[in-house]
A and B are shown apart, each in its own frame.
Chain A
């Protein structure tokens, strides 16, 4: 079998492996929905102020809530597979539509955060490792320690105090200045301007993580035999660090970037609600306040699936980056 066929097989195998995880997530999701006190009918009845038992029964049969649990589970699985995530009674809209509408802003925030965190983390880790135990290393380590211990929402609020309220450099909230009716590049610039503070806030924690990881990874690689060989060949230190060590040290950072996506989604709930960034996290915050569990579960489901998908993609990228990974 040639190499590309092996790779296709590997990708298929990984795809198959993620199916049980997806099913398990769906089942967990369904049972969470049922653990909740009061169903959709109760919520609607509460909304209306009062409801007769006949009306409640009618509502329950309308949403299939009167059927036995396994039947409800089957209906739920069927619905999810046909991209029907239920109905948000608060927003009076299908959950799927709400969630997909809010998906792009979150994606924008997450991509810029990952780029910033991984980019700066790699540079800082490199600087720390190449100046081991100097003031530079110590300073970077202290910075990493402190950002690692800071709650994200607090950083966000403090940034608003300093950079929005005192210095007026950046807007306090939102994704764009809707009232200005910007178009084309002006709109892109406006959104980028709004994106700065949420991105910096969300990336701080991961920046610390990647810095420490990169530093450790560089130090580990520096002790390897191939480095000794390179040095014996008479290569310059600069060439050894940038061409030989750096490439190998990057691998664990790439894997970690994939593993951390789940945590990133959690962080985005906090950061989006601080900066009123109109993404999934903000939607989750609103759903929490409105006690709209259907919506909250839809967001949770989509995020969990997103994590599965990204882990899959990272694994596949990884198999390209490091040919030693068993693809057969």
Chain B
């Protein structure tokens, strides 16, 4: 069966994919639908949804909530994607080295990984952003620093189970170098669990990002969903919509990514599914 046929068997994964594609489309078209800066004061403050030309209302300063959501979709997807890419890279390198070489390299790298897993990750991310000053870069660094250990453990496990297989031994015999064996022989064979873990990590990264910007640690020059909710919480009593709609956006996006991740898992590891 083709990949798409396998993926399609899971209905909720298809629903997730549809939602996710919609979020991507909104993010891509944000500048077309809302050409103005989302920080711009667009009209009467605290207008309810549908009033004064605001589809989803306006906030305390008269900023358009809908425009913020559309532009915020870019921020969330970009930070989620980049932070995950960095975390997967760090995790794959460290986990791969630990799994392939074993011995003291493995010991040291695993102790470091364990320490990073012990540290309360969200608090650590807060600290890192606070110390580096809030910006896109510092948020991406902070999220990837707290996310790589899970990937490292996964990749290490895969490398350990693959490093003594016949095809790897054959590579040793023909005189292939360690790096080439790791990159060209072992890594491609453990791509599917990495892809699944990575897709689920994007969802977590988006949640961490929204939490950071809710606490006021977002990049001050870039609109994000967490920032919108944080800015709207003081007027919760009189303008519930300012907090509500960006939260729905986070919920739908994260839910969609989780569903897609599970769908990928089922499609890439069909044997796992048949077992349960």
Give residues in A with beta carbon < 8 Å to B. Answer: 20-21, 24-25, 28, 32, 35-37, 145-146, 148-154, 157-158, 160-161, 165, 219, 262-263, 265-267, 269-270, 273-274, 284-285, 288-289, 291, 293, 296-297, 299-300, 303-304, 307-308, 311
Contacts and interface: CB of A to CB of B under 8 A. Distances in A.
Contact of A303 (B115, B123, B133, B240): B123
Given A21-B115, A157-B247, A158-B247, A297 B127 contact: yes
Nearest to B240: A161
Given A265-B123, A273-B215, A20 B254 contact: no
Contact of A21 (B118, B128, B251): B118
B122 A154 contact: no
A271 B72 CA distance: 23
B25 to A, nearest CB: 20
B118 A149 contact: no
Contacts of A24: 111-112, 115
Interface in B114-148: 114-115, 117-128, 130-133
Contacts of B117: 262
A151 B131 contact: no
A151 B214 contact: yes
A304 B146 CA distance: 14
B192 interface: no
Given A161-B236, A288-B217, A296-B130, A153 B229 contact: yes
B119 A157 contact: no
Contacts of B207: 149, 151
A263 B118 contact: no
B203 interface: yes
B244 A158 contact: yes
24 contacts: A37-B133, A149-B251, A151-B211, A151-B229, A153-B226, A154-B243, A158-B244, A161-B240, A161-B243, A165-B236, A262-B119, A265-B122, A266-B123, A267-B122, A269-B122, A288-B126, A288-B216, A289-B216, A297-B127, A303-B123, A304-B118, A307-B120, A308-B118, A311-B118
Interface residues of B, number: 45
B107 to A, nearest CB: 11
B126 A269 contact: yes
B131 A300 contact: no
Nearest 7 A/B pairs, CB to CB: A266-B122, A154-B247, A149-B255, A149-B254, A262-B120, A265-B120, A36-B131
A162 B227 CA distance: 22
A263 B125 CA distance: 12
A110 to B, nearest CB: 12
Contacts of B251: 146, 149-151, 154
B186 to A, nearest CB: 28
B247 A303 contact: no
A304 B240 CA distance: 36
B152 interface: no
Contacts of A149: 203, 207, 251, 254-255, 258
Contacts of B125: 266
